[in-house]
Amino acid sequence: MYAQILFNGLVAGLLLALVAVGFNLIFNTTKVFHLAHGAMFVVGPYALLQFIDITSGIGLWAWGGSVLLVVFLAMLIERVVYQPLARKRSGQAISLISSIGVYLFIVNLISLVYGNETKYVDLPLGGSFSLLGITIIPVQLMQLAIALLLIIGVFILMRTKWFLKVRAITSNDTIASVLGINTEKIRLHTMVLGSIMAGIAGCLQLFDIGIDPHRGMSITLGAVAAVIIGGQTSVKGTIAASLVIAFLQTFTEWYISAHWKEGITFLLLIAVILWRTEGIVSFNIRLEER
Amino acid sequence: MILKVLNVGKSFNGLIVLEDVSFELETGTITSLFGENGSGKTTLFHIISGFLPPSRGKIYFKGESIYDKPATEIDKLGIGRTWQFPRVFKNLSVLDNLLLASKKHPGEHVLNYLVNPFKIWQEEKKRKEKAVRISYDVGLSDKLEEAAGRLSFGQQKLLSIGMLLINEAELLLLDEPFAGLNVIMVDAISKLLLQLKEEGKTILMIEHDRKKAKAISDKVLYLTKGIIREDVGVA
């Protein structure tokens, strides 16, 4: 029983981590509380559905088309909404409201075109099997493998000079510009990368429990909780917090009720920020420098 | 001669800050720039480093006009500057701050890692070694892994000078390097500046502590009412 819960929690945790790491990268470089991230989570699978229709199959073209659409949309949001606001030095409240506006527009558009019912894609991967007392669905293995690959990719990226620039902008974007770092380019990169991660996470959910236009907001709120709990600037902390949240949600679903899982997540969030406002992983700097 | 400033003037909405500023700096010298608060010293630094365009005049760095070049281009040519309050990345380690200041990493472009990861790895290793060498020069070798925000104010000033050195700046514009520091830190920075001069770097510094600045300067410039007057051979 516990092994089953842990396995389900691991898969759900890695999917949440994809969304949360994407949110982390975007939030830290753009300083936008990017709730429209939830829209990217649903744009990916809906685009995939559309391209499956067009190409008559779930091949490389369908995946490529879906990713390209997410990239295009992410660039559009950054160039048309967030960057102009940043140039005008508008505050975080303004960018948050704009982000909610972008989210509602995209989700309403998807609802209008595709309807509100849940969509699935049934992959011909065979039925469930049992291993060490755990019932495993092949789709879960696929989710596990793709999510792990993407997270390993992020860890490799974290060792590059490009990521050092991301951290520099996170720390202080004005100094970064003074040092000749092209902050607008790096913002665009993280926006695209973070959105691809959310879009792929959405696609992976399409093969399992399915997707509807409104599914993005709850996972984005979970991702926000993971970013805050893990320490806002720490990617590793965000991944660890995503796993903890997913385990907690799976236990809650199993032993209490699925309705309680988000409530429990935010209880955890409140407990952590009361204990450590800056999250679990934080930098130890002088009091007067904070 | 490394820098020539000729009849530079600057006004903001009719308010004249720099009237007619002309001076030259020889390579491998230390020059102090004195003046009352609001006399236009920092404005002059902004103009030389490209953060503000002058209203008129000419500026040459190693014979090349830098009059209308942007700050990033001037930085690449070899003019580096520090600010009155050190501008360092407080959440990043001392080593990361130094690495960020060094320009043109092949690893800046993620695709390069896929094409030639070994070459990039070697290049990054060389840059890291250089950063460690510079940390010894500025006396921060034992703080490499420490967050810059943990350093004292004086150590952050040393780090900002280190960030200019890793970028191989030839002309260093230092805005009040001794301000707010204790005697030990002032001595450490004075010693470092003299060492940099020996290595052929040229230094122009704004300073209010005239005694300490004069002690290491080859030349002193006074900026009064937007006009420069100079004293040579003060050291």
Instruction: Look at residues B92, B180, B90, B172 and name the one whose alpha carbon lies nearest to residue B138.
Output: B172
Q: Is the pLDDT of residue A268 over 90?
A: no
Q: What is the pLDDT of residue B108?
A: 58
- Read off the pTM: 0.80
Nearest by CB to B108, from A161, A178, A283: name it.
Answer: A161
- Please spell the DSSP secondary structure of chain A, one letter per residue: -HHHHHHHHHHHHHHHHHHHHHHHHHHHHH----TTHHHHHHHHHHHHHHHHHHHTSSSHHHHHHHHHHHHHHHHHHIIIIIHHHHHTT--HHHHHHHHHHHHHHHHHHHHHHH-SS-B---------EEETTEEE-HHHHHHHHHHHHHHHHHHHHTTSHHHHHHHHHHH-HHHHHHTT--HHHHHHHHHHHHHHHHHHHHHHHHTTT-B-TTHHHHHHHHHHHHHHHH-TT-HHHHHHHHHHHHHHHHHHHHHT-GGGHHHHHHHHHHHHHHH-TT-SS-----GGG-
Q: Is the pLDDT of residue B233 over 70?
A: no
Find where tokens 């250089």 sit.
Answer: B130
Average pLDDT over residues A147-170: 90
A261 band by pLDDT with thresholds 50, 70 and 90: confident
Q: Is the pLDDT of residue A289 over 60?
A: no
- Residue from A175, A183, A196 whose CB has the most chain B CBs within 10 Å, to mutate: A175
CA angle A141, A143, A148 (to 5 degrees): 95
Q: Is the pLDDT of residue A281 over 70?
A: no
Q: What is the pLDDT of residue B38?
A: 84
- Residue from A25, A155, A164 whose CB has the most chain B CBs within 10 Å, to mutate: A164
Tokens of A219: 């996972």
Find where tokens 């290491």 sit.
Answer: B216
Mean pLDDT of chain B: 87
Amino acid at B139: G
B87–chain A nearest CA distance, Å:
6
Which residues are within 8 A (CB) of B188 and not within 5 positions of it... i.e. 6 or more apart? B139, B154, B158
Is A68 near chain B, with CB under 8 Å?
A: no
Which residues in B lie closer than 8 A to residue A284 (C-beta atoms)? 147, 150
Task: Tally A–B CB contacts below 8 A.
Answer: 72
A209-226, pLDDT tens digit by residue? 899 999 999 899 999 999
Average pLDDT over residues A254-261: 83
Is A135 near chain B, with CB under 8 Å?
A: no
The percent of residues in chain A predicted with pLDDT above 70, rounded, is: 95
Q: Which residue of A has its CA nearest to B51?
A: A178
Cβ count within 10 A of residue A229? 26
Given a contact cutoff of 8 angstroms between Cβ atoms, the answer to whether A191 and A75 are in contact is: yes
Please indicate whether, in this complex, the C-beta atoms of B110 and A157 are within 8 angstroms of each other.
yes
CA angle B174, B177, B182 (to 5 degrees): 175
Is A129 near chain B, with CB under 8 Å?
A: no
Instruction: Assess: ipTM above 0.90.
Output: no
Is A287 near chain B, with CB under 8 Å?
A: no
The percent of residues in chain A predicted with pLDDT above 90, rounded, is: 53
Average pLDDT over residues A249-278: 81
Mean pLDDT of chain A: 88
Q: Is the pLDDT of residue A125 over 80?
A: no
**A66-89 residues labelled b (16+ CB within 10 A) or e (exposed):** bbebbbebbeebbeebbbebbeee
A35–chain B nearest CA distance, Å:
25
Is A172 near chain B, with CB under 8 Å?
A: yes
Compute CA A276 distance to the chain's CA centroid, rounded to the nearest angstrom.
Answer: 23
B73-105, pLDDT tens digit by residue? 888 888 988 888 888 998 899 999 999 888 766
Average pLDDT over residues A244-256: 89
Q: Is the pLDDT of residue B231 over 80?
A: no
- Cα separation, A199 vs A193, in Å, equals 10
A49-97, pLDDT tens digit by residue? 999 989 888 888 999 999 999 999 999 999 999 999 988 888 888 999 9
Please indicate whether, in this complex, the C-beta atoms of B90 and A172 are within 8 angstroms of each other.
yes
Which residues in A lie closer than 8 A to residue B72 (C-beta atoms)? 180
Please indicate whether, in this complex, the C-beta atoms of A289 and B103 are within 8 angstroms of each other.
no
Is A168 near chain B, with CB under 8 Å?
A: yes
A189–chain B nearest CA distance, Å:
11
Q: What is the pLDDT of residue B57?
A: 93
Is B109 near chain A, with CB under 8 Å?
A: yes
Residue A59: C-alpha distances to residues A106, A238, B56 (Å): 26, 32, 63
Q: What is the pLDDT of residue B118?
A: 78
- Cα separation, A144 vs A161, in Å, equals 28
Partner B, chain A 139-158, Cβ-Cβ below 8 Å: 156-157
Q: Is the pLDDT of residue B106 over 70?
A: no
Q: Which residue of A has its CA nearest to B97?
A: A168
